[in-house]
Structure 1
């Protein structure tokens, strides 16, 4: 076993995971699954201006965004997931700053 983990083919983050024989991190696996799910969903129309909304990934959540009015529309549970993910990122950033300041 190597001391150094290979880098994800998509984002370059170190990983020990493989998908189809290639190194890929958990975040990229999740993102690829979301992209596949998006291709299976029907196009939705913006409730504000009736434009066809585009699928985007934000913090590993598939969201619908209007290209005209820039409104963002979430399905059930997605706002909670975004909030939880952002809170976890903030806590991690605070923890890192505290530990760096102590050294």
Structure 2
């Protein structure tokens, strides 16, 4: 799966390291030095037009990640939690958490 956008990618780089396959950068200076050093073997620089193509015209902000899919949980596991939020029919996912 490909994800893009500065905040979501930085979160994935920090918290889901084992799922990251490739880091695509269209801008320099987006990653801190420790993150750059950690992912250096998996970083590929690309032109902005390729980043636009990979993000299907979305606002990639110069960074995209190729990563393994998340493991999906069964609803029977999820409903054991005290609190469940279900979001359906979102049209502007960029506003979640804003």
TM over 0.5: no
Bigger Cα Rg: 1
- Greater relative contact order, per chain length (Cα 8 Å cut-off, separation 6+): 2
TM-score by length of 1: 0.24
TM-score by length of 2: 0.24
